[in-house]
Structure 1
Amino acid sequence: MRNSPSKNGSSGGHCRNFTDAVWSPFIKSGLGISPNRSYALVSLIILLAVGAFISTRLLLDPTVCHPKRHSTSVTASPKTKTQTHTISPKYPLPTTVITQNPKPEFTLHCPANETTTGSTCPRNNYPTTTSFGDDNPNHPPTATCPDYFRWIHEDLRPWAKTGITREALERAKKTANFRLSIVGRKVYVEKFQDAFQTRDVFTIWGFLQLLRKYPGKIPDLELMFDCVDWPVVRAAEFAGVNAPSPPPLFRYCGNEETLDIVFPDWSFWGWAEVNIKPWESLLKELREGNERKTWINREPYAYWKGNPVVAETRQDLMKCNVSEEHEWNARLYAQDWIKESKEGYKQSDLASQCHHRYKIYIEGSAWSVSEKYILACDSVTLLVKPHYYDFFTRGLLPAHHYWPVREQDKCRSIKFAVDWGNTHVQKAQDIGKAASDFIQQELKMDYVYDYMYHLLTEYSKLLLFKPEIPLNAVEICSETMACPRSGNERKFMTESLVKRPAESGPCAMPPPYDPASLYAVVKRKQSTTTRILQWEMKYWSKQNQTGS
């Protein structure tokens, strides 16, 4: 783009004056018309050098020749910083960079005396709405939830036809640790009995963070929560036409004989007593620890470390340790939590335990929170036949995410699994990688919250009564829970605090299983486990024949 010429034929303005000043000495000296050719040649060289300098100056700084050229700027809101760019006659307009101020974060509004037990909930505890909504055309489309979300429908099926009455809910009080009510976007808790350690505390903390993540989206409800390991609502007691409706009771695990509603466990927000960090930060550490040593360079044995005292099956597992008489390909260690606490948990860092090709998962008194930490390694998880499930493990498949191990003959089963994996190296690595990918991608904290969101939303639809604030309940919020606490409890609450509402909606809930597809899932697991058992039997038959 060129400037319009002036009336005298020149470009005009400052550029003309600058040009005349540079060229006039050469014009006045008669450069190019002197009879002395040598002088003319030298003068021409000087002329070209000066001309090159001037051309470069004009290109790099267009304001030298175009001081009257208009600047182009981008108008932004008061919350943005705007850069102004001058159009160059040679180069296109640079991309305008708009730096937005960071979005405000939630913080804990603790009183000056943070140890006070009289903290109250701020009136602006939660925003009234999220930044997304069904009526917002700009919010991104939501992905479909992982397949294990389909089990929400199965867990709530006992009340699908009858709904949940207040009478049924009150019967769940028999073993519950607390009742939690959400009324008008606020949380109220009625405590019945203490839970082991701080299970109830961090479970309630998880509810509070869900309301921060999806403010205004969680419906009013009342529920009973039992923090004990083993489920208690036995299905057989509520079978038959005239049987009463089962009490809806939330807890961390279930089994095939019970109807307890499975919910994410407290350790996702931290296990203060054993120094296990909140899941979001721990998941990153587990991924980094996984990368320290490749699968092929790890110890070619099965590793387990835990408390064997809590269950007979774990004490039986300890017999599989290496000894002078037997090499079962297992390296087993008893965890002394009292000693660990005194020594600063130096030997219990979960991110540093991905150093064997195989890791064993075995239940304790019921299901164990350790399962997700074990699956997070690229190591092949040797899963001793479980009797319980938590909210995500029903989405795992044998020979794809884990290797099944017999409960009644653990040592021989473990030895076969390790020998098979060390022989079928690529297949073993694929199993370990599939499990760690599942944990990193399908059990990230966003999906934990989405599972809670969908479970509570579907549960609330079944309530046949209007949720109320219990007479003996108190309002709970992040401040009343975190401000009076210290040590790991305060540290983990601060670390797991949801700092801003979600910018997109929760994942899309998958449909329930129809009878045929549910049967196919169960049948696939059974047939794969049976096939591996047959391989194991052939292996030991061959070992017996050769006398090895």
Structure 2
Amino acid sequence: MAEHVKHVLGDQTIHGCFSKVGVGRLKGFLSTTTIFIFFFFLLAIAALLNWMDIPIIQGIPLGQARSSEIHHESVEFPFNCSNLVNYPSVFEPKESSTNGTCPDYFRWIHQDLKQWKSTGITEDMIERGKPSADFRLVIVNGTAYVERYRMSYQTRDVFTIWGILQLLRFYPGKVPDLDLLFFCGDDTAIKKRNYKGRYAALAPPVFHYCGEKAALDIVFPDWTFWGWGEVNIKPWEETLRAIKKGNERIKWEKREPYAYWKGNPLVSRDRRLSFMKCNLSAKHDWNVRLYKQDWGQEIQGGFKHSKLEDQCTHSMTLMIQPKYYDFFSRSMVPMQHFWPIRRKNRCKHLKFAVEWGNNHPHMAEAIGKAGSKFIEEALTMRNVYDYMFHLLNEYSKILKFKPTIPPNAQKLCSETTEQGLWKEFMVQSMLKSPSDKPPCALPPPFEPQAIQASLDAKENKTTQTKTWETEYWKN
């Protein structure tokens, strides 16, 4: 979520797949994660720092959407492994409680697992996938075990595992036995080109924070939903509250008429240094204001100048054409949730986008509000946990072997995971009681023609902006 913002805020351009354009996963937006956050994404998300290869130029004011918090009134879990007898082991929601259908982006779960639906997932596939993974996670009888293969960057693996532990607390006894591999790097791990024809059945299933057209990675929410301690990004619920509050500081009509981005130009150096050429100069004003973020100075100064709530106070999100996608971003629509920016000649595209927004303030505001609404309503932490649950549940259905605890695996619980410098972030994101209602209902998979129709509709929207821009530069 946090390179994701779940990417619209923060270091929004990163190379790789983080976005939370969202926040958290921000790796591809100008906002990954792109505000969208990771992107978008105004999306608030994008507010995060991004790691996706998608620069996103930040955006959009958050609307007055409903709260994304998860409220609990039932018994709280103990915070240690030695007192497991007190943990609820069976999920018992209120009988009268019901939950509706999940957001549309949950349909992509079926598509991400399609590669293995006909063959199933064998133990041999798991073994072959180990060289591509940072850790192996096994859940047996509601208890998680992890076998680590290599260190991931910063604490990506730690907070990913922490998030899965919270899922087990949210739906105790409901997450099925499973055995999976997880990769925490930037680029995708399992390339389609290596598994064509007779080799298709050999593709190992590997979970990851983002996907792309040329890869088979199974897309999972990124670690930043539970916090990104190294850059002082708080857990998603707290981050979203702060962004919404910060967004209220400047009324829409009072906002500066420029595209805004702040990040580290030395990350994904070729793309970002090229992008920095769009900044104000003696020769050009592309209607873009770009600011360098020195994380070393920010760490020393207590992160006083990198708060997402101080940056996500502008307008609609401008998303530079992404290579990667987050688990939720495939259901975002250009000209509905964000303005699409092509990579080539991006300075000219950015200038036109800003001019269009300034000349069509009501339409720009509508895009901004729609992006904000998407993030606030579709990307709540309850939906994040429900997405995790359904993805893991569907994945478990295609396992062709009974998961067992690896000899070198470590048993996990909150007590063994929350420790060290990042304990504060973990305590803030820890669920203290189970959900009082069942997960939302997983919608059926897309029909093949529906996926193509969606792609065509998005392309048509993008083509419309190209037509408008061509006319603009002719005049």
User: TM-score, normalised on structure 1?
Assistant: 0.72
Q: 1:246 to 1:506 in 2, by over 3 A?
A: same
In structure 2, distance between residues paired with 1:492 and 1:538: 50
Aligned 8 A contact 2:119 2:201 in 1? no
SS in 2 for 1:122: helix
Partner of residue 346 from structure 1, selected from 304, 308, 316: 304
Q: Decide whether the 8 Å contact of 2:78 with 2:87 is kept in 1.
A: no
Q: 3-state SS of the aligned residue for 1:212?
A: helix
Code of the aligned partner of 1:299: E
Question: 2:215 matched to which residue of 1?
Answer: 258
2:251 pairs, out of 286, 291, 294, with 294
State the SS of the aligned residue for 1:460: helix
Q: Distance in 2 between matches of 1:103 and 1:223?
A: 31
| One-letter identity of the residue aligned with 2:77 | F
Contact 1:286–1:351 (8 Å) recurs in 2: yes
Matches within 5 A, 1:371-410: 379-410=315-346
SS of the counterpart of 1:244?
Answer: helix
Alpha-carbon distance between aligned partners in 2 of 1:354 and 1:480, rounded to the nearest angstrom: 35
Matched, 1:443 2:404: no
Give the Å deviation of 1:517. 1.1
Alignment-derived partner of residue 17 in structure 1: none
- State the Cα deviation string for residues 19-42 of structure 1 (Å, max 9, x = none): xxxxxxxxxxxxxxxxxxxxxxxx
Question: Deviations 1:169-206 (Å, cap 9, x if unpaired)?
Answer: 11110121100000011010001000000000000000
Q: Which residue of 1 aligns with 2:455?
A: 522
Structure 2 counterpart of 1:471, which letter? P
**Whole-Å Cα distance in 1 between the matches of residues 200 and 285 of structure 2?**
53
Equivalent in 156, 168, 171 of residue 113 of structure 2: 156
2:437 to 485, 495, 504: 504
- Alpha-carbon distance in 2 for matches of 1:536, 1:528: 13
Q: Does 1:104 align with 2:75?
A: yes
**What amino acid does structure 2 have at the position aligned with 1:180?**
L
Moved >6 Å (runs of 4+): none
> Any stretches of 5+ residues in structure 1 without a counterpart?
1-100, 110-119, 357-378, 543-548
Corresponding residue for residue 418 of structure 1: 354
**Is there any run of 5+ residues in structure 2 with no aligned partner, and where?**
1-71
Cα displacement (A) at 1:355: 3.3
Q: Residues 24-423 of structure 1 correspond to what in structure 2 (within 5 A)? A: 103-109=74-80, 121-124=82-85, 126-132=87-93, 138-241=95-198, 243-311=200-268, 312-356=270-314, 379-423=315-359
Distance 1:303 1:283, change over 3 A: same
Please give the root-mean-square deviation of Cα atoms over the aligned residues, in Å. 1.4
Residues 242 and 301 of structure 1: is their aligned pair in 2 closer, same or farther, counting only changes over 3 Å? closer
CA contact (8 A) 1:304 1:331 kept: yes
Deviation at 1:423, TM superposition (A): 0.3
Q: Secondary structure at the match of 1:404?
A: strand
> One-letter code of the match for 2:249?
R
CA deviations on 1:477-504 (whole Å, 9 max, x unpaired) are 100111x323xx0100000001100000
1:73 is aligned to none
If the length of structure 2 is used for normalisation, what is the TM-score?
Answer: 0.83
SS of corresponding position for 1:299: coil
Answer with 1 or 2: which has the greater Rg. 1
Specify the code of the residue in structure 2 equivalent to 1:323. Answer: S
Task: State the AA in 2 paired with 1:524.
Answer: A
Deviation at 1:126, TM superposition (A): 3.3
Whether the aligned pair in 2 keeps the contact of 1:121 and 1:477 (CA below 8 Å) is: no
Residue 440 of structure 1: how far off its partner (Å): 0.7
Aligned match of 1:462 in 398, 406, 417? Answer: 398
1:204-239 Cα shifts (integer Å, max 9, x gaps): 000000000000100000000000011121112222
% identical aligned pairs? 51
Asked whether the 8 Å contact 2:258–2:354 carries over to 1, the reply is yes
In 2, distance between residues paired with 1:418 and 1:220? 50
Residue type at the aligned position of 1:387: K
Structure 1 contact 121–480 (Cα < 8 Å) conserved: no
Post-superposition offset of 1:131: 2.5
Q: Deviations over 1:39-89 (max 9, x none)?
A: xxxxxxxxxxxxxxxxxxxxxxxxxxxxxxxxxxxxxxxxxxxxxxxxxxx
